[in-house]
Amino acid sequence: MRSVHPGTRATTSVCIGSLILGAAGLLTGLPATTHWGAVDVLARFGAEPVRQRVVEVPEQRIITAAGVSSGIDMAIRLVARLVDDVAAQAAQVFVEYDPEPPYKAGHPDQVGEEVMARLAEYRGVRS
């Protein structure tokens, strides 16, 4: 990553992919995001974890996206950045990205102990 990044138009990550960028030293002192379950690890790599779906650091050409679904948000932003807003909107229409989640449960801060306990039961994740 360290050798590739200088030649990229944008270096990006989705979910825990930001840990790879962090391990390569590309996020030191920069705001970044990752899956909520890996925030502590991201901080250990010197990044400044932010609770946002997408974090852009334009002067470094780095974009990080939180969980898997936020990768769509990031991809649409990248199309706008690399092409233009019309192309980004066309991409959004093409993939029919018009989310209507059935629950407001996209982050642990939005759910109660019962939901986190069930998640731990299914996935072995600590609540």
Region of 61 (left: φ > 0; alpha: ψ -120 to 50; beta: rest) is: left
Which entry of 15, 47, 62, 65 is annotated as an active-site residue? 15
- Annotation says 15 is catalytic: yes
**Residue numbers annotated as active site:** 15
